[in-house]
Structure 1
Amino acid sequence: MNQAEILDTALQEATRLWGIAEGWLLSPAAWSQFALLLIAYLVALYTSRKMHPLLGRLLTPPEGQDSYIARARRFVALFLPLLLPLLAYVFTGLGESVTRSLFGSGAVIAFGKRVFLFLAVRILVREVISDPVMQVLGRYVLVPVAALYALGLLDPAMAYLDATVVPLGNLSFSVLFAIRFVVVAGAIFWLGRWSNDQSSQFIKKQEEMRPAMRELIAKTIEIAIFGVAFLLVMNIMGISLTSLAVLTGVIGVGLGFGLQKIASNFISGVILLLEGQATVGDYVELDGGEAGTIIKMTARATILETYDGRWIVVPNEDFITTRVVNYSDSGSANRYEAPFSVSYDTDINKVPAIIEAAVAKHPGVLTTPFPPDCELRGFGDSGVDFAVEFWVEGIDDGKNKFMSDVLFLIWNALKAEGITIPYPHRVVELKTPLPEQTA
């Protein structure tokens, strides 16, 4: 269809709409329908103002409740802005049945009903939907469709879009098919993502399961949900999966050569989750020097958070092919030692008992697998060298200041017993006597 034909069609449609509008303005039945529209809107406005506070109280759970019923109530409460246009739509529908029984026609009030439906769709997109993907679909697909439906132009527009064919090599499809595909795929994958989020939250609350098993089950459910979503989209749109066999075969060969690392990282991630040797919350150190707490495990990589808040993205393959030190696997304890020295004037036989008793007072120091153990390490240049070994649950990081606390305990215990901590002394010998000073 060229530009002249499009312009001619638009003029014909404008003339038709003007004829309809002129007939409405000169018809007593039309004026009665306008009056019924106004009455229906006023009744809906009055009813919504009375019902809105009551529904708001019924649908708003007490603060702090997070049960499934409370979530359902909050979800339904999101649709309260649609109360007015939907009530107007219902009352207008009742008025339409009255006018059709009295006058045999109800075109005006039917148009008003479609307008109220358009307003409901517009409010839904602007005030209710918060997901970015669904907002885009609503703004650029749902609202235009509702506007065309309100004007009575939906069927001609769909026929035009269906007749517009887009060639793509040996394939061709209509614009209407492409729009339907985008809408259906977007809605189904949004529903899949929502279902995946809900299932992940439920699984993460199962404290009796190992963290690695929870992550593995969550990833398996995610793959299953989006796999089913893909099959649903193909089935709803009438696309035969056998027609995609050649294309998927070519893509599979390309993936085999070009995405070997991604496949390797994915398989390594599954192995990590199955074995459970490293999971979320563990502090690990890799052979390459990367160290941090695991905060997230994805299909491709594991994310570590360092003490200073930086994130390190480590490919899952590195956890399989290199040496990994896990400082907190399965909640195991860790051993630290704090070195110190005492003066040579000290009775060193008393030092171990004093230090062991002082370190044992720390609430984080464990008695199993071993209690604090103070050992003589050597005789230094300035003092006698000791070290106390102690076991703690966790690692000595920013929030667990085990080493600092233990050193404070050592200092205070030695001071309380009158034991001095030496510092380096130097003796300087002068080969030449100092010159005498004259007065």
Structure 2
Amino acid sequence: MNSDNELLQKALGYAEQGKELALSWLLSPAAWSQFGLLVLAYLAALLITRRARPAVLRLLTPPEDSKHILSKARRFALMFVPLLLPLVAYVLTGIGESVTRSIFGSGAVIAFGKRLFLFMAARILVREILSDPFLKMLGKFVLIPVMALYALGILDLVTAKLTETMISLGNISFSVMTLVRGLIAGSLLFWFGRWSNDQSAAYIGKNEELRPATRTLAIKTAEIVIFGAAFLLLMNIMGISLTSLAVIGGAVGVGIGFGLQRIASNFISGVILLLEGQATVGDYVELDGGEAGTIVKMTARAAILETFDGRWIVVPNEDFITTRVVNYSDSGSANRYEAPFSVSYDTDINLVPEIIEKAVAAHPDVLGAPQPPDCELRGFGDSGIDFAVEFWVNGIDDGQHKYTSDVLFLIWNALKDNGIEIPYPHRVVEIKGAGTLPQ
């Protein structure tokens, strides 16, 4: 109850101070002159902005098809044109403030107007310029309230109050201001870290001279460096000693040694995979456990395989090191397949290889190297003579590619065009004792 009365008394005190300040402004000639200069500064800023805005737009607007770095910088600066009016008003108000302080020795009214123009600039920045959802939310719930407190002239008072309010967690004590500063700084740092990581990943990904595994390793290294630097900078901002982090790091190391062995093993295995390039994003692999698919993503803990039926399989990195892995597409190497078929015993088999090899070679995806299509005699079956044609392609015979099916169609059509019969099983049924059957 006493605390409620104390808060009420403080609120009434602040209200009384505000009332006295308002009356002093209303009855003071200096305050009215400052208000007049404030209105004049705003009107002058409005006139200057209307005249200067078209010229600024022409200067900052690059050609539509230009992708030069200067054009990108001009497009970035073009987004801030809506801030022209409040910033020009802020500059003119600052000039008016220096004039009033030199003449009247005070400038509280015009200083309030100057802070108000900064608040207007913050609102325009959040509503019209920021497009990133996270930055927009941060501006809405952090920047605008802070600028509102600054415009009212009570930001220092609120900051001091938050600094005095302490929070205790066991043996650790810190102020609310430290917590708020850490949350804001951490949010900005890690957003900037994510943006920097995306930019670096895009830049490294465009470098076709590097192997895919090397590019992936470089992207992961850049990510660790960026977020590690952001974390250390955040600790410095919050005033946390790195010595205490060393103690925590030792405890975490013990935890990894006892309870997180598999995670550490998978992380190290992922680094080895990236360094050696045994498997990388885009490769079609088959593991000893039966998992098979195209690697679509490699993380610090596991690789993600996508099967041809659209399923994702998460395979720990350790499995690529400790088990047998068949890579069908490492470094873009070709793969060999074969298509079996049979012909009738009435066929001149000496003509078959040339006919089939010529027909298969006409397929647009069949390669001439490392070997052209090769038709081989495999044996003499019960119903016909068995052949098989071997061919090389760049890709996997599954999913969107049906190489073996296409080749079998070519074989069928080639045999039909040359009058060669494809056999099918024949069965002869003999009926004994047919003469003794009843009439």
TM-score by length of 2: 0.90
Partner Cα distance (2:78, 2:313) in 1: 41
Contact 1:293 1:305 in 2 (8 A): yes
Matches within 5 A, 1:279-298: 279-298=280-299
Q: Cα RMSD over matched residues?
A: 2.5
Listed one character per residue, the Cα deviations across residues 313-334 of structure 1 (whole Å, up to 9, x for unaligned) are 2211111111111001112110
Which position in structure 2 is the counterpart of 1:179?
A: 180
- The one-letter amino acid paired with 2:240 is I
1:313 is matched with which residue?
A: 314
Q: Go from structure 1 to structure 2 and tell me whether the alpha carbon gap of 1:314 and 1:4 turns closer, same or farther (over 3 Å shift).
A: farther
How far 1:302 sits from its partner (Å)? 1.2
Aligned residues of 1:344 and 1:383 also touching (Cα < 8 A): yes
Q: Hey, what's the Cα distance between the residues in 2 that align with 1:105 and 1:169? A: 49
Which residue pairs with 2:212 in the alignment? 211
Moved more, 241-250 or 348-357: 241-250
Contact 1:305–1:311, Cα closer than 8 Å, also in 2: yes
Counterpart in 2 of 1:110? 111
> How far apart are the structure 1 equivalents of 2:308 and 2:29?
79
| Paired residues of 1:307 and 1:398 also in contact (CA < 8 A) | yes
Mapped pair 1:43 → 2:51: no
Conservation of the 8 A alpha-carbon contact between 1:134 and 1:186: no
1:432 to partner: Cα distance: 9.3
Q: Deviations over 1:271-310 (max 9, x none)?
A: 0011111111111111222222112211111122222333
SS at match of 1:2: helix
Distance 2:229 2:82 in 1: 33
The alpha carbon displacement at 1:385 in A equals 2.5
Verify the 8 A CA contact 1:86 1:117 in the aligned structure 2: yes
Q: CA deviation at 1:163?
A: 0.8
CA displacement, residues 226-275 of structure 1 (integer Å, 9 cap, x when unaligned): 22222222223332211333333223322322222211111000000111
What percentage of aligned pairs have identical amino acids? 71
CA offset at residue 148 of structure 1?
0.6
3-state DSSP class of the match of 2:378?
Answer: strand
Which of 57-66 and 257-266 deviates more? 57-66
Q: What CA distance in whole angstroms lies between the structure 1 residues aligned with 2:71 and 2:312?
A: 36
1: CA distance, partners of 2:214 / 2:411: 42
TM-superposition CA deviations, 1:173-203 (whole Å, max 9, x none): 0000111112222222333332222222222
- 3-state SS of the aligned residue for 1:143? helix
Is the partner of 1:340 in helix, strand or coil?
strand
Q: Measured at CA, do residues 201 and 170 of structure 1 come closer, stay the same or move farther in structure 2, by a change above 3 Å?
A: same
Report the equivalent of 1:330: 331
Q: Name the structure 2 match of 1:252.
A: 253
- 5+ residue gaps in structure 1? 434-439
> What letter corresponds to residue 289 of structure 1 in structure 2?
G
2:314 matches 1:351? no
Which amino acid is 1:278 matched to?
A: A
Q: Distance in 1 between matches of 2:54 and 2:395?
A: 52
What CA distance in whole angstroms lies between the structure 1 residues aligned with 2:61 and 2:254?
A: 54
Report the residue type matching 1:390 in the other structure: F
In structure 2, what is the Cα distance between the partners aligned to 1:252 and 1:208?
A: 38
Cα separation, 1, equivalents of 2:278 and 2:65: 36
Task: Look up the equivalent residue of 1:213 and give its one-letter code.
Answer: T
2: CA distance, partners of 1:3 / 1:277: 70
Query: What aligned pairs does 1:406-425 form with structure 2 within 5 A after superposition?
Result: 406-425=407-426
1:26–1:323 distance in 2 versus 1, CA, 3 Å: same
Q: Tell me the equivalent position of 1:437.
A: none
Matching residue's letter, 2:285: V
In structure 2, the partner of 1:436 is: none
| TM score, norm. by length of structure 1 | 0.90
Distance 1:233 1:223 in 2: 15
Q: Which amino acid aligns with 2:196?
A: S
Letter in 1 for 2:374: D
**2:85 — aligned with what?**
84
Please state how far the C-alpha of 1:57 moved relative to its aligned partner: 4.5
Q: Distance in 2 between the 1:161 and 1:432 partners? A: 113
